[in-house]
């Protein structure tokens, strides 16, 4: 009885896998052929036979290295395409064209070093693009030209050093931009222009030391700006004052702060702005001056302006003393003259 049940189970299991002529060996085609899973199948190129009804195609963990032109022309119903952890270095122009229903494309952990204009052709409805752990070093105005509907872009852990102005200019729907763990050194005004829907901007783990004052100004929806683990030693008040979102949380930990009176003043002013939240302010530590290294900014901030306060005090006291002395001298002189006048008039009478 037990064996029979087991056999029955096995038979139904086998038939539900449906190895139809449409399903390539190494893949599993399930759910009315809507899910085609070819993960870890040792493929070195894209499979030839994928059921045309497929909505989710999982090709992760293979050795695919080239995406030829119009690779998915027969799979127009695809909504999710997973290609992470392959060996992709070349996406031919139009490699993903004719995919008008594609919502998510995962290309993370590949070897992509350039994105040509042809890369994004036909991906106008794509909502999520994962490109983390590739070999990109620069982005330009053509990299994402046709991604009008994109909401989430993950570019973390590449080697991105330069981002040309207008690189993201087609993406007015973008809500999350992940650029952490790259090699950015500075941020130029105009880099994030047009990103008026952007809510999350993650720039942690770069080498950013300077930013143009107007760089965050266009980001009127930003709720989280992560600048932790960069090379900032100081910050200009206007750079953050220019963020005109309703409320924005800013992370600034693990930067080599130069704890001087100017820094203390800037932070005091920033913290008084109602729409900005410096969430990790109590975690900021000093790198300069050497005597304050590794001290928390909050533990020393009352003393940072002390030297200046003392100077101001000394000057004030000096001025006061001088004025007082002058007044005293004047008074004494007046009295002496009064006395002399007295004596003179006394002698006359
Ligand atoms: C990955 O692609 C490169 C060429 O881009 C090739 O030399 C290498 O053998 C490929 N590696 C694997 C594991 O397929
Ligand atoms: C971005 O990619 C990294 C690496 O694949 C991943 O760990 C992270 O969760 C991704 N973030 C988002 C928001 O998709
Ligand atoms: C501050 O640092 C501590 C210890 O590293 C950490 O647990 C905490 O989450 C940090 N606080 C914020 C607001 O990031």
Q: Are 190 and 167 in contact (CB under 8 A)?
A: no
Q: How far is CA 180 from CA 146, 215, 247, in A?
A: 23, 17, 22
Segments forming the whole domain that contains residue 34? 23-183
**Assigned domain for 281 exists:** no
* 153 φ/ψ angles, rounded to the nearest 5 degrees: -125, 120
| Ligand 3 atom with the shortest distance to the CA of 283 | 1
Average pLDDT for the chain: 87
Give, for 176, the enclosing helix (H) or strand (E). Answer: strand 176-178
Q: What pTM was estimated for this model as a whole?
A: 0.83
Nearest alpha carbon, ligand 2 atom 6: 132
Q: What is the pLDDT, as a whole number, of residue 15?
A: 41
Average pLDDT over residues 11-21: 46
Q: What is the pLDDT, as a whole number, of residue 97?
A: 87
Average pLDDT over residues 183-207: 95
* 341 φ/ψ angles, rounded to the nearest 5 degrees: -60, -40
The rounded distance, in Å, linking the Cα atoms of 223 and 201 is 9
What's the burial of 119, exposed, middle or buried (CB within 10 Å: 0-12/13-18/19+)? buried
Confidence of residue 225 (pLDDT cuts 50, 70, 90): very high
CATH number for the domain spanning 109: value is: 3.80.10.10
Antiparallel, parallel or unpaired: β 138-139 and 152-154: unpaired
In this predicted structure, the answer to whether residue 237 has a pLDDT above a threshold of 80 is: yes
Tokens of 293: 């290294």
The tens digit of pLDDT for each residue in 284-310 reads 999 988 888 999 988 887 776 776 666
**Assigned domain for 109 exists:** yes
Give, for 128, the enclosing helix (H) or strand (E). Answer: strand 128-130
Sign of dihedral through CA atoms 319, 323, 329, 332? Answer: negative
Q: What is the pLDDT, as a whole number, of residue 289?
A: 86
The tens digit of pLDDT for each residue in 17-74 reads 445 567 888 888 887 778 999 999 999 999 888 888 899 999 999 999 999 998 888 8
Nearest alpha carbon, ligand 2 atom 7: 132
Q: What is the pLDDT, as a whole number, of residue 3?
A: 43
Cβ(169) – ligand 1 distance below 6 Å? no
**Assigned domain for 314 exists:** no
| Ligand 1 atom with the shortest distance to the CA of 89 | 5
**Assigned domain for 237 exists:** no
Compute the distance from residue 140 Cα to the ligand 1 centre, in Å: 26
Compute the distance from residue 128 Cα to the ligand 2 centre, in Å: 11
Q: What is the pLDDT, as a whole number, of residue 100?
A: 85
**Assigned domain for 27 exists:** yes
The rounded distance, in Å, linking the Cα atoms of 323 and 317 is 10
Q: How far is CA 174 from CA 10, 141, 158, 170, 197, in A?
A: 47, 16, 20, 9, 6
**Assigned domain for 47 exists:** yes
In a mutational test of the pocket of ligand 1, which residue from 43, 87, 90, 134 has the highest number of ligand atoms less than 8 Å from its CB? 87
**Assigned domain for 17 exists:** no
The tens digit of pLDDT for each residue in 168-192 reads 988 999 999 999 999 999 999 999 9
Provide the 3-class DSSP secondary structure of residue 26.
coil
For the chain, what is the domain count?
A: 1
The tens digit of pLDDT for each residue in 126-160 reads 999 999 999 999 998 888 989 999 999 999 999 99
Q: Are 62 and 35 in contact (CB under 8 A)?
A: no
**Assigned domain for 45 exists:** yes
């Amino acid at each position: 009885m037990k064996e029979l049940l087991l056999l029955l189970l096995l038979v139904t299991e086998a038939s539900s896998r449906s190895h139809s002529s449409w399903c390539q060996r190494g893949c599993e085609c399930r759910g009315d052929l809507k899910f085609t899973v070819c993960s870890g199948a040792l493929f070195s190129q894209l499979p030839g036979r994928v059921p045309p009804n497929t909505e989710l195609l999982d090709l992760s963990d293979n050795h695919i290295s080239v995406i030829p032109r119009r690779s998915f022309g027969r799979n127009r119903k695809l909504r999710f395409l997973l290609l992470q952890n392959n060996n992709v270095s070349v996406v031919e122009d139009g490699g993903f064209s004719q995919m008008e229903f594609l919502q998510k494309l995962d290309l993370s952990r590949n070897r992509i070093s350039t994105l040509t204009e042809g890369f994004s052709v036909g991906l106008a409805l794509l909502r999520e693009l994962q490109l983390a752990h590739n070999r990109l070093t620069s982005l330009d105005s053509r990299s994402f030209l046709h991604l009008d509907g994109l909401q989430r872009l993950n570019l973390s852990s590449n080697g991105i050093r330069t981002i040309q102005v207008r690189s993201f200019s087609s993406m007015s729907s973008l809500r999350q931009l992940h650029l952490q763990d790259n090699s950015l050194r500075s941020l130029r005004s105009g880099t994030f222009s047009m990103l008026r829907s952007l809510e999350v901007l993650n720039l942690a783990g770069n080498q950013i030391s300077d930013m143009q004052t107007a760089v965050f100004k266009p980001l009127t929806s930003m709720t989280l700006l992560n600048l932790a683990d960069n090379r900032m030693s100081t910050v200009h008040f206007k750079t953050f004052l220019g963020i005109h979102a309703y409320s924005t949380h800013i992370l600034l930990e693990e930067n080599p702060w130069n704890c001087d009176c100017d820094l203390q003043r800037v932070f005091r002013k920033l913290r008084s702005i109602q729409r900005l939240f410096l969430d990790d302010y109590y975690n900021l530590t000093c790198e300069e001056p050497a005597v304050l290294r590794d001290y928390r900014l909050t533990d020393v901030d009352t003393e940072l302006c002390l030297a200046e306060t003392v100077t101001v005090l000394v000057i004030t006291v000096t001025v006061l003393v001088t004025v007082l002395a002058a007044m005293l001298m004047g008074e004494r002189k007046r009295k002496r003259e009064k006395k002399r006048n007295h004596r003179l008039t006394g002698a006359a009478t």
